[in-house]
Amino acid sequence: MAILKKTIIGLCMLLPCLTAHAYDFSFIVDGITYNRLEVKGRLIDEVAVIAGDKNYTGNIVIPERITHDGKTFTVTAIDTKAFWYCYGLTSVSIPNTVTTIGSSAFAGSSQITSISIPNSVTTIGSCAFSSCKGLTSVTLGNSVTAISNYMFEHCKALTSVNIPNSVTQIGDHAFYYCSALTSIDIPNSVKEIGPYAFWQCTGLTSVYIGNSVHYIGYDAFRNCTGLTTVTIPNSVTSIGNDAFAQCTGLVSFTSLATTPPNAPAGAFLSSTYTNAILWVPSSSIQDYSINQ
């Protein structure tokens, strides 16, 4: 039964990352494969980087523009699985013309140690950097609107990532099992932290939650055993089941919300946070006591 359960969980985590694409207008320039893009059935002068016949290796520099058959194209996208499990890939330079990075674009490329996303990028698909086990640092441009589902899951060497003020949502499993991540600042622009977002981030010792977050999903910080203090801003209205379960290192849990967030029964019981003291606004002590 235990083996079957593990298999089902593995499949469930993999399925959101699997997609298929057909390429009708592909060509190669300087070792990089591109596909010409269409809008409403009409070809445009833009291309996406796509997976090649062979995995990419070494240092890849994606240009802003390319010329093919005498025509110039602007590189505006990195397609789904373009660099998927390219074990020999060590670095990728992304130009400021790219606006979209597809799902699983770099997933499993374990030799990449750092990545810089330019300000032109607005959308990054699910699982984009999943299982990039050598990735230690990420710089996100200030136009990215969401940390998508599974975006950095199992990036076990990741120690630092900036979340820009353009981000409004942190998706499900976004940083799941990023065990080397030590701190995270969630900016005031973020409104939701999805389920399992930081689950098993055992190296996480501090987290700042911006004052626009209204929802913290179930299991969001579960098993963050290195976390010692947490402060919930006044904006939070709902906390999911076991959001901070098994955070055995917690010594201080502060809720600034004058009205206790909607949470499962017992969410603020002392037994939930074994060694932590719960701090709440003095005017709300009775309301939090009732919540227990």
* Tokens 């005498």 -> residue: 70
DSSP 8-state class, residue 262: B
CA distance 85 to 26: 21
Q: What is the dihedral of CA 159, 190, 132, 177, to 10 degrees?
A: 70
Which of 13-27, 87-101, 104-118 is predicted least confidently? 13-27
Q: Are 107 and 85 within 8 A, CB to CB?
A: yes
Domain boundaries, the chain: 39-291
Residue 8: its pLDDT value, please?
38
Instruction: Answer yes or no: is pLDDT of 270 > 60.
Output: no
Phi, psi dihedral angles at 74 (to 5 degrees): -95, 135
Residue-averaged pLDDT of the chain: 90
pTM: 0.89
User: Per residue in 151-172, pLDDT tens?
Assistant: 999 999 999 999 999 999 999 9
Q: How crowded is the C-beta side of 265, counted as CA atoms within 13 Å?
A: 0
Instruction: Answer yes or no: is pLDDT of 267 > 70.
Output: no
* Tokens 């089941």 -> residue: 241
Percent of the chain with pLDDT over 70: 88
CATH architecture of 39-291: Alpha-Beta Horseshoe (3.80)
